[in-house]
């Protein structure tokens, strides 16, 4: 019997929880992130939810429910206020699945820390509003209550002062000596956007967790001031996250490339950081010299952090789906830290948190792919760039609340699949442990006629073929004999043919004697 396994993304396929910050509290790892709405037209439209897992069993993630609602913030209790994000993205003010009502701001990427008093403090921003909100709870994943805004010693709310920079993606960290550090800010991606109240910032807090003890000071360089530093080409953009490993501080952030998570290191938490490298890139850009034009997945932003869980370091990040920036899903990978403190870039995989490669038999969802490219490769995740020329991940059923009636029934549970598998599409999975796998069955629908070549390498020798000839809106099986090499191998499907089809699952079978 196959042991329990976990895939990427590690949460159910109907969950869109990007910007994941993992923290271990009391034998469990909790992931705090923003909460996208499937097929929404903005970032982070839903309330904050939380998932957790026993540090000794990352195959079972528990839904902890909603931990903080956007209407708990006082800035969301006056519906006559304008919504800056709507102006910036020039979208229509419609409601329903696509947008929040006017005046209701979105909860962007948060972070949580266990305070010196044993309570848990959640730090967050509302879309482009300049302040940092703080909520508090007695437990890691209970119902957080609004506490207040981070403020200067004179009571002025941070972000509203004349000389304050805008606050963005807060990260919170308490050092061994009890000093409380708050990190915040974003910076321009392009030189033509230099200017305004932006920048990577660090400050310290009093024990009340909201009052500034020391004023914000600039931390990591942006493209405005990186010349001559080690950060050139990977300057700070957003997504501050801090960890201490031994006596070294690791600052994880999203760079100006947006689709990578980088890190910087220092012997001090609030200054003197030097660039360390890329930890992960959602298109595997940078690995083996790969450029963005050769990305293995559609590109877009990513955001996350690292955490030590039961003897292993992991990086948490998110991927893009649904031909948009607004339906992102959390993923994770094992990472290693060399003796000299260096973190080597790791590839995106299908197994992620799993204890080793996936079993080379059984049924798997197609959406756990770690490569998804069309005939023309991969581009930015947007309808304008992708049109219907590229394959993409999506679902048929609208966004669902895990607590909603019927969501746990077969009819009510959304399942993600790969849509628009056309000529030249390559779908990759990393990795499996094969042992006598001789047959693969795909579950597909659509209108396509051609051949799927199965291999252990994207451009390698074929291990077998599957003939596809479908013309139906119903899911149906297509199978083929294969001869997968034994041992740990990747799995690739390449379609060459007419039309296109959707792909929801595949089965790996051994020869039965």
What is the spatial distance between Cα 404 and Cα 401, in angstroms, rounded to a whole number? Answer: 5
For CATH 2.115.10.20, the residue range(s) in the chain are 21-356
At 204, list the tokens: 């310290």
What is the spatial distance between Cα 409 and Cα 421, in angstroms, rounded to a whole number? Answer: 28
At 205, list the tokens: 């807090």
Instruction: Give me the pLDDT at residue 93, please.
Output: 46
Neighbours of 256 (CB within 10 A): 21
Is residue 411 part of the annotated active site? The answer reads no
- For the domain made up of 359-510, give the CATH fold: Jelly Rolls (2.60.120)
For CATH 2.60.120.260, the residue range(s) in the chain are 359-510
Is residue 208 part of the annotated active site? The answer reads no
CATH architecture entry for 21-356: 5 Propeller (2.115)
Sign of CA dihedral 78, 84, 86, 87: positive
Instruction: Give me the pLDDT at residue 413, please.
Output: 77
In sequence order, the 6+-apart residues with CB closer than 8 A to the CB of 374 are: 389, 390, 391, 422, 424, 425
Q: Tell me the Ramachandran region of residue 195: left when phi exceeds 0, alpha when psi lies from -120 to 50, beta otherwise.
A: left
Name the nearest CA neighbour of 180 among 264, 125, 111, 129.
111
Element of type H or E holding 53: strand 48-54
Based on the number of CB atoms within 10 Å of its own CB, is 56 exposed (0-12), middle (13-18) or buried (19 or more)?
Answer: exposed
Q: Which of 41, 131, 169, 238 is catalytic?
A: 238
Q: Which of 19, 83, 127, 281 is catalytic?
A: 19
Tokens 């990190």 correspond to what residue? 183
Instruction: Give me the pLDDT at residue 135, please.
Output: 99
Contact between 393 and 417 under an 8 Å Cβ cutoff? The reply is: yes
Based on the number of CB atoms within 10 Å of its own CB, is 29 exposed (0-12), middle (13-18) or buried (19 or more)?
Answer: buried
Residues in the chain, total: 513
What is the spatial distance between Cα 106 and Cα 121, in angstroms, rounded to a whole number? Answer: 19
HEC per residue, 309-374 = ECCEEEEEEEECCCCCCCCCEEEEEEECECCCCCECCCCCCCCCCCCCCEECCEEEEHHHCCEEEE
Q: Find the radius of gyration of the CA atoms of the chain.
A: 23
Beta-sheet pairing, 362-365 with 171-174: unpaired
Q: Is 428 helix (H, G, I), strand (E, B) or coil?
A: strand
What is the spatial distance between Cα 316 and Cα 31, in angstroms, rounded to a whole number? Answer: 9
What is the spatial distance between Cα 220 and Cα 200, in angstroms, rounded to a whole number? Answer: 6
One digit per residue, the tens of pLDDT, for the chain of length 513 reads 468 999 999 999 999 999 999 999 999 999 999 999 999 999 999 999 999 999 999 999 999 999 999 999 999 987 654 555 555 555 554 445 678 888 899 999 999 999 999 999 999 999 989 999 999 999 999 999 999 999 999 999 999 999 999 999 999 999 999 999 999 999 999 998 888 889 999 999 999 999 999 999 999 999 999 999 999 999 999 999 999 999 999 999 999 999 999 999 999 999 999 999 999 999 999 999 999 999 999 999 999 999 999 999 999 999 999 999 999 999 999 999 999 999 999 999 999 999 999 999 999 999 999 999 999 999 999 999 999 999 999 999 888 766 665 555 555 678 999 999 999 999 999 999 999 999 999 999 999 999 999 999 988 899 999 999 999 999 999 999 999 999 999 999 999 999 999 999 999 999 765
């Amino acid at each position: 019997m196959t042991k329990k396994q976990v895939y990427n993304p590690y949460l159910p396929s109907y969950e869109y929880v990007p910007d994941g910050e993992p923290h271990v509290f009391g034998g469990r790892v909790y992931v705090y992130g923003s909460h996208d709405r499937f097929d929404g037209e903005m970032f982070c439209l839903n309330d904050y939810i939380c998932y957790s897992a026993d540090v000794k069993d990352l195959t079972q993630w528990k839904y902890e429910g909603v931990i903080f609602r956007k209407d708990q913030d006082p800035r969301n209790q006056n519906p006559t206020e304008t919504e800056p994000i709507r102006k910036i993205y020039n979208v229509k003010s419609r409601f329903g699945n696509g947008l929040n009502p006017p005046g209701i701001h979105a909860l962007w990427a948060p972070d949580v820390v266990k305070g010196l008093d044993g309570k848990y403090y959640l730090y967050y921003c509302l879309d482009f509003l300049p302040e940092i909100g703080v909520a508090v709870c007695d437990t890691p994943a209970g119902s957080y209550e609004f506490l207040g805004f981070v403020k200067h010693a004179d009571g002025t709310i941070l972000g509203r002062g004349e000389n304050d920079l805008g606050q963005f993606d807060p990260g919170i960290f308490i050092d061994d000596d009890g000093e409380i550090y708050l990190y915040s800010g974003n910076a321009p991606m392009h030189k033509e956007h230099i200017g305004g109240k932006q920048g990577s910032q660090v400050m310290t807090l009093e024990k009340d967790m909201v009052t500034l003890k020391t004023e914000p000071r600039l931390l990591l360089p942006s493209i405005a001031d990186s010349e001559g530093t080690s950060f050139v080409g990977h300057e700070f953009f957003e997504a501050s996250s801090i960890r201490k490993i031994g006596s070294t501080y690791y600052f994880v952030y999203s760079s100006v490339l947006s689709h990578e998570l980088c890190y910087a290191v220092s012997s001090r938490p609030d200054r003197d950081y030097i660039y360390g490298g890329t930890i992960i890139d959602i298109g595997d850009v940078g690995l083996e010299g790969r450029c963005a034009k050769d990305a293995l997945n559609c590109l877009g932003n990513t955001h996350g952090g690292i955490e030590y869980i039961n003897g292993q370091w992991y990086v948490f990040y998110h991927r893009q789906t649904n031909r948009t920036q607004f339906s992102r899903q959390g993923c994770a990978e094992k990472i290693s830290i060399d003796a000299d403190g260096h973190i080597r870039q790791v590839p995106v995989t299908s197994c992620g948190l799993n204890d080793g490669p996936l079993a080379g038999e059984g049924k798997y969802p197609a959406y756990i792919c770690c490569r998804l490219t069309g005939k023309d490769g991969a581009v930015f995740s947007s309808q304008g760039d992708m049109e219907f020329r590229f394959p993409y991940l999506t679902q048929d059923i609208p966004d669902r609340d895990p607590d909603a009636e019927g969501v746990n029934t077969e009819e009510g549970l959304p399942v993600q699949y790969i849509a628009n598998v056309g000529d030249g599409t390559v779908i990759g999975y990393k990795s499996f442990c094969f042992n006598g796998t001789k047959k693969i069955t795909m579950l597909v629908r659509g209108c396509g006629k051609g051949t799927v070549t199965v291999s252990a390498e994207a451009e390698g020798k074929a291990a077998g073929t599957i003939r596809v000839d479908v013309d139906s809106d119903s899911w149906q099986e297509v199978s083929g004999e294969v001869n997968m090499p034994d041992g740990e191998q990747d799995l690739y499907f390449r379609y060459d043919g007419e039309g296109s089809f959707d792909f929801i699952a595949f089965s790996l079978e051994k020869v039965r004697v």
